[in-house]
Amino acid sequence: MEFKINPAVYTGIFAVPRTVVDNNIRLASADALRVILLIFAHPDQPVSVESLAASLHKPTGEISDALLFWMERGILTDAASSPAAAPQAQAPATVLQAPAKPKKTVADLPLARPTHEQIAIRCSENEAFRELFQEAQQKLGKTIGYEGQSLLIMLHDTYDLPVEVILMLLEYAKSKGKTGYKYLASLGRDWSEKEIDSLESAEAYLEELTGTDALWTDFRRQAGMKNVNPTAKQRRYLTAWRKELGFDREMIFLAYEICIDNTGKLSVEYMDKVLRAWAQTGVRTPDDAERERRSWREKKRGGKKTAAKKESVYSSDASYDLDAYSKTAIGLQNDTAPDVHQ
């Protein structure tokens, strides 16, 4: 089945630079694409995190990330720091401002807990708290007494988490096998700082967490790693590789093999350079990487002086035979490889 554009939709047209599509379509997230299309469709309207979030019905944090993606690639610039453009016959490119959103910080839960009487009053005044206590016991698989009830109320009052979000938090903690009150308090603070304050934002965040967790489970088994959960740094990199760059477990493990072959240790920084080099050159599968590796070898056999000078750098014959190519692509050699081990 073939498709074509319906001519009737040409009643309103706006221009999008080709570089937006050609250089970024594979890397841009769905939110990033929505944001840039909305901006180009309405160039005369002021651009702010809040206005875009309201138009797209998205949390401001996700909009900030989307704007940052385009600013890092030079599509958007900060109006406050951009020099004034010289007058031209045609309309100059619109300079858009994406103000950085300050990170929300919250304090630890107060030492002073609500009293038994205060808890009883809250339950009598708000049926949602009674339901919260009942469902919390079911989700955690244990009876919650005064300490648990106090924690749940403080998650609501101190961290501004709605009851439905608290229940999703408890369900996630249960899935991780961590139901201690100290961990729940830490998780509540993290969610509050990330402004996960609605069912929509909680569902999106849990999708991100569970997706990264599943990726880590597959990756650690294939790599023979023992830690069940990734560290905070590993989670950040895994999320970026999965969501920002769009790589699957196979390509991430391939980058891991190259990292081990070239450095003898796990370095997520090294893996990140390999994967980002692949993303920039359109390498999406092991076959793509193999073709690019062959192309590099053919150029090398062609007698290029630059390749001959670096002959000693490419002496290893690693799995997939991609280590030499990867060093060339990311500009790393054995004596300059990142010395980070997790």
Least confident of 29-33, 94-98, 231-235: 94-98
pLDDT(81) > 80: no
The verdict on pTM exceeding 0.95 is no
Q: What is the pLDDT of residue 303?
A: 60
Q: What is the mean pLDDT of the chain?
A: 77
Q: What is the pLDDT of residue 244?
A: 87
Least confident of 146-150, 286-290, 296-300: 296-300
- Taking the C-alpha atoms of residue 252 and residue 270, their distance in angstroms, rounded to an integer, is 12
Number of C-beta neighbours around residue 281 at 10 A: 12
- Taking the C-alpha atoms of residue 51 and residue 30, their distance in angstroms, rounded to an integer, is 18
pLDDT(317) > 60: no
Q: How far apart are the first and last CA of the chain?
A: 50
Mean pLDDT for the stretch of residues 163-177: 91
Q: What is the pLDDT of residue 226?
A: 78
Mean pLDDT for the stretch of residues 145-161: 92
Q: What is the pLDDT of residue 291?
A: 85
pLDDT(67) > 80: yes
- Taking the C-alpha atoms of residue 216 and residue 230, their distance in angstroms, rounded to an integer, is 7
How much is the CA Rg of the chain, to the nearest whole Å?
A: 25
